[in-house]
Amino acid sequence: MNAIVSFITGTLNTVAWLYIFLPCTIIFGLYLTIRNRGLQFTKFGYVMKNTLGKMFQKQEAGEGAVTPMQAVSTALAATVGTGNIVGTSQAIALGGYGAIFWLWLAALLGMMVKYSEVLLAIKYRERDARGDWVGGPMYYVKNGLGKGWQWVGILFCIFAAIAAFGIGNMSQVNSIVGSINNAVDAFIPSAAAERGTLNLILGIVLAVLVGVILFGGIKRIGAVAEKLVPAMALLYIVFGLTVIVVHAGNIIPAFGKIFSTAFNPQAIGGAAAGIVLKETIVWGLRRSAFSNEAGLGSAAIAHSAADTPGPVQQGMYGIFECFADTIVICSLTALTIICSGVEIPFGVKPGSELITAAFATVFGDKIASTFVAVALTLFAFTTILGWS
C-alpha cells in the first residue's frame, strides 16, 4: 500500500512541478520581464531605494491595515524558511553545484512574477466587514477577470489551504523538531531515548505560540514578523559570511564549480551520483520556487493588507523579497557549504546536517548545531506565521 501511495504522490509531484508549475513560472517570468522592460535589472537601484531604503524609516498604518514593512516582513516570514537552508543544501546534493545557477535564474525571473502578484493584490483588494483590507489571487481573479472566472479563485483557495498544511506547516515543524533533536544529541547523546517526549513537548509549545499570535490577527502577525524576520536574517548572514571569509580562498573556485556544472553536472561531483542536466535544472528551479514562492500567490495575500501609496510601490517589495530570500540568503547557504570544503553526499537527500557541518568548520560542532537549530526554528516558525 505504501508503495502505491508513494508512486501516486511521486507521479503527481513530477507532473505538477516538472510539466506545469516550473514551465509556467519560467514562461511568464520571461514574458513579464520583457513587457516591463527588465524592470528588475534596469530599475534595481530605484527598487532598493524604495524598499530596503525605507525599511528603517518610521512607518504608520491606517485603520485595518499594516505598514509596508510589516507586510513585506509577513510575506518574507512565509518565504524565508527551511527552503533557504535545507532546500538549498538539497539542491546542491541532488542537482550538483550547477543547480545554484538555475536557482539564481529562476529567482531573477521570479522577481517580475512576484512584482505582478503584489501589484494585482493591491489593485483589486477589498475591505471586509470589519473594515480590514483583504486580497490575493482569489480577489484579483474575481475583480480583474470577472465573475465568470470566480471558480479559479475558489480552486486557488482550496489548493492554498492544502499547501498551507504541507509547505507552510508540516515541513517547517519537521525541520524545527529535527534540528532541535540534532542540537540536543550534540550535548546529551543519551537524550535520543526520550525523543518522543521531546517531540510532543515541542509540538505543544509551537501550537500554543502560533495560536496566541494568530488570534491577534494580521496586525499582530505583522508586528511579530517585523521584529523577527530582519533579526534572524541578519544573524544568519553574519554566521554565513564568517565561514566564507575564513575560507576566502575557496570563493572563486566555488563560483567556478557553480558555473562550470550548470550545463555539465558530470564535470564535478555529479558523475559519481549519476546527476544529469535535467536534474540540475529541475532541482535548481524547484528549490528556488520553494524558497521565494514566486508564482504561488501566497505573498499577495500578506501584501494586500498594506497601507501603501499604490500598487506599483508595493509591487517593488515583491522584487525585493526574491532578491533578499534567494539571491542573498540561499546564495549565502550555498557558498557557505561549498567554500567550507565539507564532503557533499551527492545523490543523497540531506537535512540540516550539511550546513551544520559547514558551520562546524569554523565554530565547532556544538556551536554549529545550536546555531542551526535556533536559525531553523526561527525561520520555520515565522514561515508558519506567514502561511497562517
**Does a structural domain hold residue 147?**
no
Q: Is 364 helix (H, G, I), strand (E, B) or coil?
A: coil
Place of cell 550546513: 355
146 has pLDDT over 90: no
Number of domains in the chain: 1
Strands 126-127 vs 133-134: parallel, antiparallel or unpaired: antiparallel
**Does a structural domain hold residue 135?**
no
314 has pLDDT over 50: yes
Higher pLDDT, 371 or 193: 371
Check the CA dihedral 129-132-137-141 and report its sign. Answer: positive
**Does a structural domain hold residue 218?**
yes
The partner residues of 127 in beta bridges, in order of sequence, read 133
What does pLDDT average to over the chain? 82
347 has pLDDT over 50: yes
- Output the pLDDT for position 64: 47
Q: pLDDT tens digit string along 4-37?
A: 766 676 777 777 777 887 788 889 999 999 999 9
Kindly state the average pLDDT of the residues 362-380: 86
**Does a structural domain hold residue 158?**
no
Q: How far apart are CA 318 and CA 300, in angstroms?
A: 9
Q: Is 188 helix (H, G, I), strand (E, B) or coil?
A: coil
- Output the pLDDT for position 65: 52
Higher pLDDT, 340 or 19: 340
Q: How far apart are CA 83 and CA 191, in angstroms?
A: 28
- Output the pLDDT for position 37: 93
- Output the pLDDT for position 298: 80
Q: Domain range holding 236? A: 2-123+168-387
Per-position DSSP letters for 69-87, written without gaps between them: HHHHHHHHHHHSSHIIIII
Q: pLDDT tens digit string along 102-136?
A: 999 999 999 999 999 999 999 998 888 787 788 88
**Does a structural domain hold residue 146?**
no
Per-position DSSP letters for 82-124, written without gaps between them: HIIIIIHHHHHHHH-TTHHHHHHHHHHHHHHHHHHHHHHHHHT
**Does a structural domain hold residue 27?**
yes
Kindly state the average pLDDT of the residues 236-241: 92
**Does a structural domain hold residue 159?**
no
210: left (phi over 0), alpha (psi -120 to 50) or beta: alpha
Q: Lowest mean pLDDT: which of 115-129, 154-168, 316-330? A: 154-168
Higher pLDDT, 354 or 54: 354
- Output the pLDDT for position 337: 96
Higher pLDDT, 163 or 244: 244
Q: How far apart are CA 203 and CA 384, in angstroms?
A: 13
DSSP state of 268: I
- Output the pLDDT for position 263: 87
**Does a structural domain hold residue 366?**
yes
- Output the pLDDT for position 76: 66
